[in-house]
Structure 1
């Protein structure tokens, strides 16, 4: 669940905004400096990373590290990022594989974002990149996913319920993404 300061604005899925790419770059720059050599790659992931896709106005960032340890948490805390406490922000299942991660909320008053720290080469890191690259490549899937999220946000304004319902539909989308990856020879996990 969001921290109290993140609850000020209601759930809304908005049309894509070109400034999201610039805002990601600014955030990634801050993270590169703060994390030093701990970060192997910093990726713009999630819906805001897909031009033309409707999204919540919250930048999703993936930081890939060699291994998850307390060092990254300490470095993130030094610049005001807060570890999200929920269990699903520690473990996720991607492609049937249980993977560790740590998710951080921004400092109080900063631009809304989620920073997902995952191990480089992990199934969950690949999943985030596949989601992004598939929706960038497939206009029909992109438009359908955006329309679904917009309708869902209107019907289910509670952020937790919205997330649970969206998560239950993700396997359908990602099944198509896996077929696309196989057909195109897409290989995830390259540093961009």
Structure 2
């Protein structure tokens, strides 16, 4: 197992929001109107939450198949990958296309960053934002989630084993997040 295929969870860093702001500014400059939204998602977007030291960014576009999307990312030096779908929660009733995405590797000169490109109105776009906002709202849920991640990284540091457990844990968190969203009139 190579070091790059191992999961390492670090304590929260107060620099992560500023790191995202730099990435966001670069993306806005390159993507212009292609990006309808650029959001800091994932664990580094939740104050106090332990995380991999990788900034996750969700770029929301109107059409995943628009060739201008790929051209814009390539102009930054980002490379496409074969990741074309997110984890689908068990029992999900959406069309499989609701979980499609494009994933780009940021240039090596950037700080570690994951670039998730998702389409407006799709289930996976909403999932990432609701998950983030719920963990920001519930410090207890965020702390429990952090404990799971730290234990998983220690017990199953291989990326495939880590995500095989973490994804269903996220689905459990989303059950509580959905209840919170209904009760709070949450909107992305």
Query: Does 2:49 correspond to 1:53?
Result: yes
Pairwise CA distance, 1:10:
4.3
1:94-144 CA distances to partner (integer Å, 9 max, x unpaired)?
653222210111112421111111111211111110000000000110100
- Alignment map for 1:77-156 (pairs within 5 Å): 77-85=74-82, 89-92=83-86, 93=88, 95-97=92-94, 98=96, 99=98, 100-156=100-156
Matches of 1:114 and 1:17, distance apart in 2: 17
More divergent stretch after superposition (126-135 vs 95-104): 95-104
Please report how far the alpha carbon of residue 29 of structure 1 lies from its aligned counterpart in structure 2 after TM superposition.
0.5
Give the unaligned 5+ runs of structure 1: none
> Which piece of structure 1 moves more, 155-164 or 44-53?
155-164
- The range that moved more, 94-103 or 69-78, is 94-103
**Matched residue pairs, number?**
180
Deviations 1:129-176 (A, max 9, x none): 000000000011010001110010000111121112111222111101
Shift of 1:22: 0.3
The range that moved more, 160-169 or 139-148, is 160-169
- The residue number in structure 2 matching 1:19 is 15
After TM superposition, the score normalised by the length of structure 1 is 0.88
2: CA distance, partners of 1:156 / 1:137: 28
SS of residue in 1 equivalent to 2:101 = strand
Q: Secondary structure at the match of 1:42?
A: strand
Partners in 2 of 1:96 and 1:127 — Cα distance?
A: 14
TM-score (norm 2): 0.90
Q: Partners of 2:61 and 2:6 in 1: how far apart?
A: 33
Measure, in 2, the Cα distance between the counterparts of 1:138 and 1:168: 19
Structure 2 residue matching 1:54: 3-state secondary structure: coil
Provide structure 2 residue ranges, at least 5 long, that are not aligned to the other structure: none
What RMSD in Å do the two structures reach over aligned CA positions?
A: 1.7
